[in-house]
Structure 1
Amino acid sequence: MTLRTNKFTPKVLISAPRRSAAQSCADGSLALYSQSTYSFDTHSKSSGIYVVGVKSGQSTLLTNDSRASEPKWIGLGHEIVWLKQGDNGNTSFVIADANDVGKTYTAGTISGPVSNLKIHVLEDGKAIVAFSGKSNQDGSLYNPKDVGKPHSSGRIYDSLFVRRWDAYVEPQRNTIWTALLQKIPSNVTAREGRWSLLGVTNMLKRFPQFECPMPPFGGTDHFDVTRDYIVMVSKDPSVNPATHTVCLTYVMRIPNPISVEETNAEPVMIKPEGKRTWGAATSPVFSPDGKYLAFLLMNEDGYESDQNHIQLVHMQEGSVLHSHTLDVRDSDKDWDLSPSSIMFSADGTKLLATAEDTGCVCLFEFDLTRWLTSGSNRATPRKLTHSGSISEVARASFLSQQLFISSSTFTDSSIYYILDPSDPETKRIDVSSFANNGANFGLSSAQVSELWWKGGDDASYMVHAWMMKPSFFRPEKKYPLAYLIHGGPQGAWDDQWSTRWNPAVFAEQGYVVVAPNPTGSTGYGQKFTDAIRESWGGLPYEDLVKGFEYIESEFDFVDTSRAVALGASYGGYMMNWIQGHDLGRKFKALVCHDGVFSMTAQLASDEQYFPLHDLGGPIWKNQQGYDQWDPSRFTENWSTPQLIIHNELDYRLTIAEGLAAFNVLQMRGVDSRFLSFPDENHWVLGHENSLVWHTVVIDWINKYVGLPPLRDKEAREEVEGCRKDAVRRSVAEEMKLLRVVEE
């Protein structure tokens, strides 16, 4: 399916095909990916698993079963395995062949839901698989379908966490499982030549204190598998995970899966050499021959946005492992970027890392030859890509040094290409397939440009921002400004596609969009990221003020007298902070999504290490620090019309924050509106909910700058239905209250 449209609207964004990252087969001729689309006509989602010819660009549908997910190549041919969820909660391992479309069979079934599938091919016809699934306290696989409804809904907790992200913490824990996928020998005629799943083992059955992947967002980036071992990262069980980020990295020997033996392997901890304390760890990976591994490690406990350092380990059988920090130098200076993922090259002599760099997610290469031969840990990064945002890197074929890249930009939702690290500037091969590129949406990279301005009081540093103009932009005309503030606060607007906060959606309404990366943003050096600590409403606010002044003075086509500002999470905090300060009077309207109203309410958040770090310690030791940057202290200044959005499953910032802000606006007589989704968390993920979100937001800001409302009949009917339902509920509650009073 190729979606073509003359105008990029919220409905187009939400219903457009969403493709996963892709991976090529052993010979490099085909790439495998999954895709989903949503239909507002049928109000349903469809999904499929596809292969695309790397040279031809032609895609072939392997299955449109909505229960199929996580396709992976197995063996050295074109055979594929994917997971299929059953109605009873079980998971089947389904085998397919890209050369024989429509022919599938089940290699084995697991008695519960599993995910995060990883495969290490041992030889043609044999592969080790690792995956995650929750385990019961006795080590068996947890299946929610087997759990009866309790007689009481009460929960009792004696320590943190009580709840995390959007769910209450339950006794079941994430666990790594291993098994063998093997073709049946030729002497077994009934299933000759078919794959079978053997020896499923809970690697952590004897070690329930460990949890991997780590919730709420951990996945395949928290473990890896090779011929004989798995490596995993897990929170240190000796400290409270709500107030600490320290992780431990362990290697475990995989038992012989054919004998279906219970593993007696003890986890061997990898000790960071020269470190007594450290922080979070992620992205453990083995070299292709399994002799080396690498992972990412932060230095500071309690700080989830500290710089990641690359750790290298030489595997040594039966001994305690030590990791060496790769000393990354850019000329004679330390490399100040923070890698987010790593992998070894096909020959194991290079390490490839993705890292945010000036509003992009780029690929870097590190030569490990000196470390492999002499033990020297010095390396210099070589930048292989310079634009867009990479989501995943894979080998282009089994032994090739070429790389298969999955990426996106502000205007292209999914880009696949092959990169040759020996000559990345000229040896790039685009894999077209049915391209999800900007042209199909009426978008163009020509709409996007970059800005820099002097930030802070002393103007000692520069602030970077992205600008996006409408596709129908004319330089002689004036357009209202949409100032987008990102969350985090240690985050950034990167040149990548998003289905939630997409600058193009606002640009196509007729705004010039400016998305700044002020103090605290990632990808501009660790010092710049760290500078927001204990300065939430300080330096970042000053950077935004300077940015507004710069836009006001430099761009005649931007009408700053018709400006709006929008933000979520920390961006929502900044909306409330701006509302109470001078910059708030520069905007016609504000939009605050799941933002902070009162710093004291941070104590109700799930991950307490976050405010402990960013606000300078616990509140009983630093009340002044919490008060200094508290938006609720300045509510006497609130006067700009503001839309408040807050969801009931947001346990990162509880819904009381949104209600408090809305109540203040209402009592002060400020034009305001409150939108809430009872089934959404910190984000709005449901397709229909997303359309309502976009409609309410766009209609709100358009009203104050003189642009027409979103012309989408279905969306407007849905929004009107939400409003009427709320009114009916409100009237019913008032009548009930009146009856109580009368009685």
Structure 2
Amino acid sequence: MKQVNLLLMSAAMTLASCGGTKEAGQQDAAALIERSDIKIEGKRMTPEALWAMGRIGGVAVSPDEKQIAYSVAYYSVSQNKSNNEIFVMNADGSGNTQITRDAWQESQPTWFKDGKKIAFLCNESGSSQVWEMNPDGSDRKQLTRYDGDIEGFSFSPDGKKLLFIAQVKTVKSTADKYPDLPKATGIIVTDLMYKHWDEWVTTAPHPFVADFDGNAINNVKDILEGLPYESPMKPWGGIEQLAWSPASDKVAFTCRMKTGLAYAISTDSDIYEYDVNKGGFINLCKKDGKDSDNKNEMAGYDTNPQYSPDGKYIAWQSMERDGYEADLNRLCIMDRATGEKHFVSQAFESNVDAFLWNKDSQSIYFIGVWHGETQIYNINLADGNKLTQLTNGMYDYASLALCGDKMVAKRHSMSMGDEIYSLPLQYGSDFAEATQLTFENKPIYDQLEMGKVEARWMKTTDGKQMLTWVIYPPQFDPNKKYPTLLFCEGGPQSPVSQFWSYRWNFQIMAANDYIIVAPNRRGLPGFGVEWNEAISGDYGGQCMKDYFTAIDEVAKEPYVDKDRLGCVGASFGGFSVYWLAGHHDKRFKAFIAHDGIFNMEMQYLETEEKWFANWDMGGAYWEKNNATAQRTFANSPHKFVDKWDTPILCIHGEKDFRILANQAMAAFDAAVMRGVPAELLIYPDENHWVLKPQNGVLWQRTFFEWLDKWLKPAK
């Protein structure tokens, strides 16, 4: 207990000391002091322990590859916000030092000026700007004074220019149209994509290039000046969607040059190259900027360009088909001299989720999910695109960086959040052995007992093999009977890999004495293209049979109480819960649906990204001759409410513009009107996720109170 208190007190003081005004620091200290009062009873995970954990963010290796800078986010439940701090350590993990200690948000550490300085984003001046400091945190200085927030940045290799991201206004407000009505709140809409993820769209992120003299920027140029397009693309894109050429004369950027209806129905983004000296840009994906007459293999998402270190090539991630956001994400390489393009990841029948050029420009490292684990791979371009798997084990890797003769990466699992590791680049017949460099939350983990995570393969109704993760409670006793939860994944095509979540956390579910069954049902990557695509246009089909296979198979175990089964999920998982509520044949005794689709006809029109609805649902519900679409809408959960007979908790955020909150409200109302016990948890200020600390704790408490009420016998 003492170790935890010391760690949490340290985290509190991180947000409270030096930097900012004394008053601001004191407020943060007072708000975070509850971190030192965390009580971890019986070595079981609690919501408070989860929110006390530091969350590792961006990682950067110094030019001499002797040091690593990284950021950590800390959360205050009482103050209901987070703060980011920056750390520096030696490449072997020694000498780990926190170099910022203040009330400001500091993030995206980047080494520059030959490693003598660290650049970072900070909001100390009232807006997010680029600052610099020494690697020990001293001599802080503001470098940019742009009129607006800078959201991401990258210095050119020669250090003479700065590439940065900032929002530009693209839609006139009501006040712009009627200056005499400055307090009018009405929003006038004339085309689609007027809302996206959690915002009413009035701006677009643009890439800017500026001269940098070592102290400040000038001659700022908007690469997309006067154009209403996004680069990077909302809602997920960041600086990884832009890249400098090694010669500092070109900038490659990701852009979908569409607006309104055209944007809403298409995923066709391209890679463009901007000439820093001459101005203007060209499309690298399409000849003359247009689709070819025969076949355009660049019709889907093309994102995240990276130049090879020798400048001869440029690589990016590429999906083939327009309108399909979960298409196979391949690695494309273009010869800059000839314009010839080819794909190099065919040997890997899953997505290239992120990649990194090797220093010699002869191979590429990437991460991808296969059989429920995200591992690191190498493609040897000089040896016929030979594929080699470098890592193994029940982990997910992320954020690759080269560091001397090693690679640095973040790694997490179902039993531990992100930490930073190093791995040798010299590999033979054995997998690389990772060395842990950071131990951000070790004093907390040392106070907890995690449940066992087990991989089980089971035969589906159509004779295929399906991987299902089973997570057991700490101190599991096979002679007891446990209530058991079926976890339904979202996406719908997101892997059930070794993920660590601060909300859908399997270890906190296990700590509450539940067994969790998490199947990699049909429609998930990591098991081949056919498996991944089997869900499109068939939401109520084989994927639902796979759910039943998973829970029925595990329910055969003597330690599973068949009379106390629950079913939980979010997004497509929430849809799954609503659908299973009308088809489960009394298997389950409690349901929880978060941000799920209840009425698919309404969802088709309500969601902002129409390409998703068109592809996954197979078309519009008014297309009476479209067999796929008609099958989809015939399987809408709201059509089976007459069969609902099991208590259900519906959770939703009113800022969720992907799946509107009225879906949960309608499901709740239907349950109540049917006489089914129901509860509704609505967040007016949350989107498709739950991001605010107090809302997160409320989510966990409501989640387990509901499950305990229906799945645990009264004491």
User: What's the counterpart of residue 123 of structure 2?
Assistant: 85
Q: How do 1:267-306 and structure 2 match up within 5 A?
A: 267-271=282-286, 275-276=295-296, 278-306=299-327
Once the two structures are superposed, what CA deviation does each residue of 1:148-170 show, in whole Å capped at 9, x if it has no partner? 99342232232211211111121
Is the aligned partner of 1:430 residue 2:435?
yes
Quote the RMSD (CA, aligned, Å): 2.6
User: What's the counterpart of residue 94 of structure 1?
Assistant: 131
Give the Å deviation of 1:385: 1.6
Once the two structures are superposed, what CA deviation does each residue of 1:315-363 show, in whole Å capped at 9, x if it has no partner? 23xx8x342222633xxxxx31111112211121111111111111111
Q: How do 1:544-693 and structure 2 match up within 5 A?
A: 544-553=547-556, 555-583=557-585, 585-602=586-603, 603-621=605-623, 622=626, 624-693=630-699
Q: Which amino acid aligns with 1:284?
A: P
Distance of aligned partners of 1:327 and 1:597 in 2 relative to their CA distance in 1, 3 Å threshold = closer
Identity %: 26
1:232 aligns with one of 253, 274, 277:
253
Distance of aligned partners of 1:323 and 1:210 in 2 relative to their CA distance in 1, 3 Å threshold = farther
Partner Cα separation in structure 2 for residue 393 and residue 478 of structure 1 = 43
Structure 1 residues not aligned, in runs of 5+: 184-194, 256-262, 330-334, 371-377, 710-743
User: What's the counterpart of residue 92 of structure 2?
Assistant: 55
- Is the 8 Å Cα contact of residues 597 and 663 (structure 2) preserved in structure 1? yes
- Is the 8 Å Cα contact of residues 270 and 283 (structure 2) preserved in structure 1? no
2:187 aligns with one of 141, 155, 163:
155
- Is the 8 Å Cα contact of residues 411 and 444 (structure 1) preserved in structure 2? no
Give the Å deviation of 1:127: 5.0
Once the two structures are superposed, what CA deviation does each residue of 1:119-154 show, in whole Å capped at 9, x if it has no partner? 3432xxx35432211124599xxxx9xx99934223
1:223 aligns with one of 221, 234, 242:
242
Partner Cα separation in structure 2 for residue 50 and residue 625 of structure 1 = 53
User: What's the counterpart of residue 374 of structure 1?
Assistant: none
Once the two structures are superposed, what CA deviation does each residue of 1:669-704 show, in whole Å capped at 9, x if it has no partner? 111100100000111111000000110011000111
1:489 aligns with one of 465, 470, 492:
492
- Is the 8 Å Cα contact of residues 44 and 508 (structure 2) preserved in structure 1? no
User: What's the counterpart of residue 114 of structure 2?
Assistant: 76
Give the Å deviation of 1:268: 4.0
1:244 aligns with one of 240, 263, 266:
266
Partner Cα separation in structure 1 for residue 550 and residue 431 of structure 2 = 36
Is the aligned partner of 1:450 residue 2:455?
yes
Is the aligned partner of 1:26 residue 2:63?
yes
Partner Cα separation in structure 2 for residue 426 and residue 34 of structure 1 = 29
Report SS of the residue matched to 1:562: strand
Partner Cα separation in structure 2 for residue 47 and residue 149 of structure 1 = 39
Partner Cα separation in structure 2 for residue 518 and residue 43 of structure 1 = 36
Partner Cα separation in structure 2 for residue 295 and residue 347 of structure 1 = 18
Q: Which amino acid aligns with 1:325?
A: F
User: What's the counterpart of residue 134 of structure 1?
Assistant: 167
- Is the 8 Å Cα contact of residues 94 and 106 (structure 1) preserved in structure 2? yes
Q: Which amino acid aligns with 1:640?
A: T
Report SS of the residue matched to 1:270: coil
Partner Cα separation in structure 2 for residue 611 and residue 101 of structure 1 = 48
Report SS of the residue matched to 2:596: coil
Distance of aligned partners of 1:328 and 1:472 in 2 relative to their CA distance in 1, 3 Å threshold = same
User: What's the counterpart of residue 390 of structure 1?
Assistant: 397
Is the aligned partner of 1:2 residue 2:33?
no
Distance of aligned partners of 1:437 and 1:494 in 2 relative to their CA distance in 1, 3 Å threshold = farther
Is the aligned partner of 1:415 residue 2:434?
no
- Is the 8 Å Cα contact of residues 129 and 149 (structure 2) preserved in structure 1? no
- Is the 8 Å Cα contact of residues 8 and 442 (structure 1) preserved in structure 2? no
Report SS of the residue matched to 1:682: coil
Deviates more, 1:75-84 or 1:483-492: 75-84
Partner Cα separation in structure 2 for residue 74 and residue 597 of structure 1 = 51
Distance of aligned partners of 1:487 and 1:94 in 2 relative to their CA distance in 1, 3 Å threshold = same
Partner Cα separation in structure 2 for residue 113 and residue 483 of structure 1 = 43
Partner Cα separation in structure 1 for residue 377 and residue 519 of structure 2 = 25
Report SS of the residue matched to 1:597: coil
1:264 aligns with one of 254, 279, 291:
279
Partner Cα separation in structure 1 for residue 633 and residue 354 of structure 2 = 37
Once the two structures are superposed, what CA deviation does each residue of 1:171-195 show, in whole Å capped at 9, x if it has no partner? x321111234444xxxxxxxxxxx4
Partner Cα separation in structure 2 for residue 519 and residue 430 of structure 1 = 35
1:337 aligns with one of 341, 350, 358:
350
User: What's the counterpart of residue 145 of structure 2?
Assistant: 109
Q: Which amino acid aligns with 1:251?
A: E
Give the Å deviation of 1:402: 2.5
Structure 2 residues not aligned, in runs of 5+: 1-5, 9-37
Is the aligned partner of 1:698 residue 2:701?
no
Is the aligned partner of 1:516 residue 2:519?
yes
- Is the 8 Å Cα contact of residues 20 and 33 (structure 1) preserved in structure 2? yes
Once the two structures are superposed, what CA deviation does each residue of 1:561-596 show, in whole Å capped at 9, x if it has no partner? 21111011111111111110134x111110011111
Distance of aligned partners of 1:594 and 1:136 in 2 relative to their CA distance in 1, 3 Å threshold = closer
Partner Cα separation in structure 2 for residue 664 and residue 8 of structure 1 = 35
- Is the 8 Å Cα contact of residues 621 and 633 (structure 2) preserved in structure 1? no
Give the Å deviation of 1:104: 1.2
Give the Å deviation of 1:110: 1.5
- Is the 8 Å Cα contact of residues 362 and 381 (structure 2) preserved in structure 1? yes
Give the Å deviation of 1:102: 2.9
Partner Cα separation in structure 2 for residue 293 and residue 586 of structure 1 = 53
- Is the 8 Å Cα contact of residues 212 and 234 (structure 1) preserved in structure 2? yes
Give the Å deviation of 1:665: 0.7
Report SS of the residue matched to 1:613: helix
2:344 aligns with one of 310, 326, 329:
326
- Is the 8 Å Cα contact of residues 52 and 58 (structure 1) preserved in structure 2? yes
Is the aligned partner of 1:67 residue 2:79?
no
Report SS of the residue matched to 2:416: coil
Once the two structures are superposed, what CA deviation does each residue of 1:95-118 show, in whole Å capped at 9, x if it has no partner? 1111x4332122232221011222
Is the aligned partner of 1:179 residue 2:210?
yes
Report SS of the residue matched to 1:676: strand
Distance of aligned partners of 1:20 and 1:512 in 2 relative to their CA distance in 1, 3 Å threshold = same
Give the Å deviation of 1:641: 0.5
Partner Cα separation in structure 2 for residue 463 and residue 149 of structure 1 = 60
- Is the 8 Å Cα contact of residues 473 and 515 (structure 2) preserved in structure 1? yes
- Is the 8 Å Cα contact of residues 130 and 150 (structure 2) preserved in structure 1? no
Once the two structures are superposed, what CA deviation does each residue of 1:266-303 show, in whole Å capped at 9, x if it has no partner? 33433389742521111211112322110111111111
- Is the 8 Å Cα contact of residues 600 and 626 (structure 1) preserved in structure 2? no
TM-score (norm 2): 0.87
- Is the 8 Å Cα contact of residues 171 and 201 (structure 2) preserved in structure 1? no
Deviates more, 1:542-551 or 1:6-15: 6-15
Distance of aligned partners of 1:59 and 1:708 in 2 relative to their CA distance in 1, 3 Å threshold = farther
Give the Å deviation of 1:364: 1.2
Partner Cα separation in structure 1 for residue 555 and residue 406 of structure 2 = 46
- Is the 8 Å Cα contact of residues 58 and 107 (structure 2) preserved in structure 1? no
Report SS of the residue matched to 1:537: coil
Partner Cα separation in structure 1 for residue 714 and residue 111 of structure 2 = 50
Partner Cα separation in structure 1 for residue 69 and residue 589 of structure 2 = 47
Is the aligned partner of 1:202 residue 2:235?
no
- Is the 8 Å Cα contact of residues 231 and 250 (structure 1) preserved in structure 2? yes
Give the Å deviation of 1:15: 2.3
TM-score (norm 1): 0.83
Give the Å deviation of 1:77: 2.4
